Structure 1
């Protein structure tokens, strides 16, 4: 079985590196939507966020899009590429010769690449004329992230939270095996080993994992934090910024995860785990400890408890490593970038669209229509959960220009159910953040090299953990990373650092 899994990993990595993971051609669809001939129209490409639409509706026919169109007087034609390979599909669209009027990406490397290509429209004048809500609600540091040589090349959507990951574990499994909630990395290892070997679900089979993570080493943040690093972060060392992926501490973290894999504690299928695959393993009771997203208590964990009412999940302290380090990654204040290709002549309409989403439309797109999905009872938000879930797709539009308001966030999360601890989870994460010291705009060298360097890192680290490459491969990776553009990026990052700290 293990040989078959490792073979699958090899094939998957080889296919992705040689064939681009089978990215198909993608063309923008044309919508024949109702509207007058004189009504202006814009075409936008957005992330579906994995949302589904109720029967009879789609991304171009639903009450929330109609609400936007009615208020801005602009017809909006929406394309939602599949989630897998999303940014690669944006590349295909940009190369099509007729790109849309708006594209949304969460990848800063993609953004700066097309800035370098001079393929995007500078937006300063349009924001000044048509973006009053954007100007009022987006802070300077977020604008700085999308400004290159004084020109604004994207309208940012903001992150609602400052961090994402928090470890949850099955307390009923801990109790059954006579274990206490772990605090140190050594205690975590012992608990995960017991979960993998001592039949915590009591079915007489060895079918549970000590730990499961996602492909590309996502959902590993608390374990990396125990060694003092996070993925794709910059830390200060001796007055300079250094990249986390090439630090000795990262090598230690990889060695730890490799040890879990060799001991059959780590899910051997992790390189193939997309979020729905990991979710199914949690729901079906095969995983009793994992690095959860702060909202998973209302998602996979809640679904598991529905199947197994005896399942009791609790948040754990972040593991403390051998040198007393602990923590999780901090998110950028920019959630995603909205860019307008310079071949579009609809910048005015696009900015008006995003300004409405960020301003008057924000409450309805985040919470739903008042009196249909929510009301206020004695000053507190009350949500009709059936309608809330049915129309969750509204978030596709709201996420394009999300504005971070802590009061709205707490109000909304508390209304979704105190039993899910959503606001508490966010607070616990924010108290344990490892701050990325680089928060400027992506540098020109990032646009040239970051995509290939990220793939090099993900492939190398995955192979090391899965036992397909020796740990010494890390040293070869560091050399290759530096020579393939990493040193150039480091130079630009430190130039920004010097300017910022004058």
Structure 2
């Protein structure tokens, strides 16, 4: 059995911002606070401490429709994404919460400790009573649990969204086929760098364009193609190995170093921001982008008026061996985007909990999903006979609809879909990726050392990885960094994860 299949088998076994405040924190407007008994079928007043990923909160236009569909008066308290860690930590410490609390940072020690402390309801015993919640898979529930207990409804994200976006017009101009192996991808990178793919007679292009992100940039996706485990690898006897202590991780570093040494990648990738990376691609300065496959639509839109001849091909089936059996792609957070959690201080009893769970269940209906994704038909989008949606007014959509997108408990699996062909193709490949997704077996496990030192220790490995790729250290230097990681707390993390894994397996 190949490593990817082994990994899949092993893992299967805040204070409110005043200018954004739409309602007071603390759930003061809840139905229970008004003295009315909770009834699952009655209209409820539900407060929601939520994360805002856009510049401003949405207007009431779409909100009113969502309230109709969920039979609820929703009182949002919005926290800007940029300050979510500080605000959520403060809200947890001061018990300034709401009926529903969006928790996206499940690796944050304050969040994990609050969940483990009993501050929030355990919901797994109730999910199967609701049609949409009942469909949440056991793998998802397990991945979103802490110490084997599920303290909220998981945000269900696509398991594996990454792949390779390539300039098809450049491939055609140079007579190249779409690559299926890492070796073929390297040759495309060479040709895009050395063979003048844009035909302007200048040496002004590179193959890859990347950014300073070893996870959501090129590195981790490429590492999947070499068979690197997803963060951690667990053996059949429960031994845990971090990804950077495996040979495929070293092979990935060598691959990236080869790209860098030969100039097949932008030489400033280690300090390049995502927006700059995308701009460079859109401006025709590179032809290979590794990241979320759905970024392709945005890349093409950004290129309009600059690279109007740009054609893209999306690739998700690259391996280092050329064998289909070795296909693998890492799953970001095991497809978990966080939790919708329900504090006991606000949701007072089981009756209230059931009403709030029904509200979340209703958010996952097809019609509510359409509202939170596309808006109101005829106002924000039009629909063709195949269920494909086209946005009518982008500015209006961004103002009234887009802020809700990150609040969807489930982001895929619905009939309504984007009319853009490139978005449809990326959705298809992302769905296909699920069959080859490699989960992180330690995602739901507890390690006190990781909770207190994990970020600091990971920085040691991140720095060493960059230094290796940039030629500042050799293999011996990297091995020394790994030993320092172990001696500084890494060995304790391994032991604690092994103990936690053993305990979970015995339950």
Q: Note the C-alpha offset of 1:420.
A: 5.1
**For 1:369, what is the secondary structure of its paired residue?**
coil
Residue 494 of structure 2 corresponds to residue 490 of structure 1: yes
1:93-131 CA distances to partner (integer Å, 9 max, x unpaired)?
545674566543443312775336856623137984998
Q: Note the C-alpha offset of 1:46.
A: 0.9
Partner of residue 289, structure 1:
288
1:26–1:89 CA contact under 8 A, matched in 2: yes
Partner of residue 481, structure 2:
477
Residue 65 of structure 2 corresponds to residue 67 of structure 1: yes
1:208 to 1:42, Cα distance in 2 relative to 1, 3 A: same
**For 2:303, what is the secondary structure of its paired residue?**
helix
Partner of residue 430, structure 2:
426
* Map 1:1-40 → 2, pairs under 5 A: 28-29=17-18, 33=22
Aligned mates of 1:90, 1:487 — CA distance in 2 = 30
1:458 to 1:122, Cα distance in 2 relative to 1, 3 A: same
Aligned mates of 2:79, 2:294 — CA distance in 1 = 23
Q: Note the C-alpha offset of 1:479.
A: 1.9
1:130 to 1:435, Cα distance in 2 relative to 1, 3 A: closer
Q: Note the C-alpha offset of 1:59.
A: 0.9
1:92 to 1:501, Cα distance in 2 relative to 1, 3 A: closer
Which among 183, 192, 196 is matched to residue 193 of structure 2? 196
Partner of residue 42, structure 1:
47
Aligned mates of 1:342, 1:467 — CA distance in 2 = 53
* Map 1:364-403 → 2, pairs under 5 A: 364-374=371-381, 377-378=384-385, 380-387=386-393, 390-392=396-398, 394=401, 396-403=403-410
- Structure 2 unaligned segments of length 5 or more: list them: 1-13, 35-43
TM-score (norm 2): 0.76
**For 1:365, what is the secondary structure of its paired residue?**
helix
Partner of residue 443, structure 1:
446
1:154–1:338 CA contact under 8 A, matched in 2: yes
* Map 1:270-309 → 2, pairs under 5 A: 270-304=269-303, 307-309=306-308
Partner of residue 151, structure 2:
153
1:154 to 1:190, Cα distance in 2 relative to 1, 3 A: same
1:133–1:358 CA contact under 8 A, matched in 2: no
Which among 187, 206, 216 is matched to residue 203 of structure 2? 206
Residue 358 of structure 2 corresponds to residue 358 of structure 1: no
Partner of residue 8, structure 1:
none
Q: Note the C-alpha offset of 1:300.
A: 0.8
Q: Note the C-alpha offset of 1:255.
A: 2.3
2:363–2:369 CA contact under 8 A, matched in 1: yes
Partner of residue 184, structure 1:
181
Q: Note the C-alpha offset of 1:461.
A: 1.9
Partner of residue 119, structure 2:
121
Aligned mates of 1:388, 1:185 — CA distance in 2 = 38
Partner of residue 252, structure 2:
253
Which among 461, 465, 480 is matched to residue 461 of structure 1? 465
1:72 to 1:427, Cα distance in 2 relative to 1, 3 A: closer
**For 2:208, what is the secondary structure of its paired residue?**
coil
Partner of residue 412, structure 1:
417
2:15–2:96 CA contact under 8 A, matched in 1: no
1:401 to 1:40, Cα distance in 2 relative to 1, 3 A: same
Q: How many residues are treated as equivalent by the alignment?
A: 464
Aligned mates of 2:382, 2:156 — CA distance in 1 = 26
Residue 340 of structure 2 corresponds to residue 338 of structure 1: yes
Partner of residue 16, structure 1:
none
2:282–2:299 CA contact under 8 A, matched in 1: yes
TM-score (norm 1): 0.77
Q: Note the C-alpha offset of 1:491.
A: 3.4
2:123–2:150 CA contact under 8 A, matched in 1: no
1:126 to 1:467, Cα distance in 2 relative to 1, 3 A: closer
Aligned mates of 1:192, 1:263 — CA distance in 2 = 10
**For 2:199, what is the secondary structure of its paired residue?**
coil
Q: For the aligned residues, what is the CA RMSD?
A: 3.9
1:314-363 CA distances to partner (integer Å, 9 max, x unpaired)?
23464432696553212413222233566656885865653442347334
Q: Note the C-alpha offset of 1:286.
A: 1.2
Aligned mates of 2:291, 2:20 — CA distance in 1 = 38
1:289-332 CA distances to partner (integer Å, 9 max, x unpaired)?
12142212321134325532322222346443269655321241
Aligned mates of 1:483, 1:114 — CA distance in 2 = 25
1:305–1:312 CA contact under 8 A, matched in 2: no
1:366-399 CA distances to partner (integer Å, 9 max, x unpaired)?
3432443456554x21423224774256354354
- Does 194-203 or 323-332 show the bigger shift? 323-332
1:131–1:351 CA contact under 8 A, matched in 2: no
1:390 to 1:69, Cα distance in 2 relative to 1, 3 A: same
Partner of residue 9, structure 2:
none
